[in-house]
Amino acid sequence: MAFGHGMFSLGQWAVGAAIAKLAGIEAMAAYGLALAIGGPIYFLTNMGFRSAAARDATHATPASDYWTARLWAIVAAAAAMTAAAVVVEQSRGFDGVTAILLFAAMRSIDCVFDLAYGLHQRGGANHRVARSLARRGVLAPFACVAGIVASGGALWAGLAGWALALGLLFVIAELKHFRGWLAAEPVHLGGGAVIRRAWPLGVGAACAALEMAIPRYFVEWRLEPEALGYFTAVFLISMAPVVASTAFGNAALPHLGRAYAAGEKHGFVRLALGLAALGGGLGLLAVVTTAMIGGPLLEAIYTPAYGPYADVFVIAVAAAAFRAVAALLQFGMIALGWFKTHMAVHGGLAPAAAILAWPLVGAYGLYGAALSLLAIAVLQCVVLTALFVFAVNRSFAKTDKR
């Protein structure tokens, strides 16, 4: 499944590169604003349903309950994104509005795919998740490039092509599985029960997305319009260690859940710490690589105009390295059922990110934005390490008493 996540991430980066090369820096800035606004909204309404379903080894919650909750969440997210489009219309014009609305369409389809992946994982069909992610990774840049080229460089056409391709892929590849799940597992307690169980994951994920988006909000507010485009491009590619770690964490989550359910503390800790070490190794490799060839890499992926931001790139990758370790520790916490801890940690880090980003962006520009990302990532890693140790000891002490 890690291969599938890797292909999917390469596709997302290829989309960013296509927008930068074919549509220009203003389009990249509009796309970056859509990402910064839409990320927290969709992470909040996503409610961590994939993780909740994947760890549900006993099928305690029917697929139909997850599906009902997902529909409610999509409607709420679409309404919030529409309101956001109205707000940014004066500052970003047509490109900004259409980017936000089409991003909402894509993310809504993504959310349905996400639930399908959780249900596949619950049934042990990780290979289906990997295939679907790989297909999406290949399809996204081709559809986006086709739209941009056909329209003569319009961002809206590229995003519309991407959304259309996603919808067709879902109908072809996933719709039959949903029909089977819904027929076999009818509604039991309804979508409200799922939301009441999983909402801390959604709030925590939204706060995590918000803390990473906050520097971009200050870049948009305090710097020249093109600055957000450059920072978005650097940020997207810098997240490689986090993306890779998340792929391994998603693949390991059902195994962690089963180890906890069986009371196998040694096996659980060995797997969780092995994952964290893997995340640290991937992060260190990314930092070294970026320090050596960061400038030429940015120029090759985007355009020569992005080369001068190599120093910003190195700092952003260092932040992602710490986040990679923290993300894998968080998967261990989720497997233990500590959903509210996720919310509490990131709920505290989000305002801290704002406190740091405000002066740093004002004083050091994009360099300061990257420094604020690094400071929050280090703090997150330290806090989650301590909480992980506490959660493991507390949780397995309860299983021993049973």
pLDDT at 379: 94
- What does the pLDDT average to over 180-209? 72
Angle, helices 63-122 vs 175-184, to 10°: value is: 120
Q: Is the pLDDT of residue 124 over 90?
A: no
Instruction: Convert the chain into a string of H (helix), E (strand) and C (coil).
Output: CHHHHHHHHHHHHHHHHHHHHHHCHHHHHHHHHHHHHHHHHHHHHHCCHHHHHHCCCCCCCCHHHHHHHHHHHHHHHHHHHHHHHHHHHHHHHHHHHHHHHHHHHHHHHHHHHHHHHHHHHHCCCHHHHHHHHHHHHHHHHHHHHHHHHHHCCCHHHHHHHHHHHHHHHHHHHCHHHHHHHHHHCCCCCCHHHHHHHHHHHHHHHHHHHHHHHHHHHHHHHHCCHHHHHHHHHHHHHHCHHHHHHHHHHHHHHHHHHHHHHCCCHHHHHHHHHHHHHHHHHHHHHHHHHHHHHHHHHHHHHCCHHHHHHHHHHHHHHHHHHHHHHHHHHHHHHHHCCCHHHHHHHHHHHHHHHHHHHHHHHHHHCHHHHHHHHHHHHHHHHHHHHHHHHHHHHHHHHHHHHC
297-319 pLDDT tens trace: 999 989 899 999 999 999 999 99
Q: Is the pLDDT of residue 197 over 60?
A: yes
pLDDT at 148: 93
- What does the pLDDT average to over 327-351? 82
pLDDT at 92: 73
Q: Is the pLDDT of residue 161 over 70?
A: yes
| Reported confidence tier of residue 394, pLDDT bands at 50, 70, 90 | confident
CA pair distance 91, 30, nearest whole angstrom: 10
Q: What is the largest CA-CA distance in the chain?
A: 67
47-70 pLDDT tens trace: 777 777 776 666 667 778 888 888
Q: Is the pLDDT of residue 178 over 60?
A: yes
pLDDT more than 90, % of the chain: 29
Cβ–Cβ under 8 Å, residues 283 and 241: yes
pLDDT at 330: 86
pLDDT at 9: 79
pLDDT more than 70, % of the chain: 92
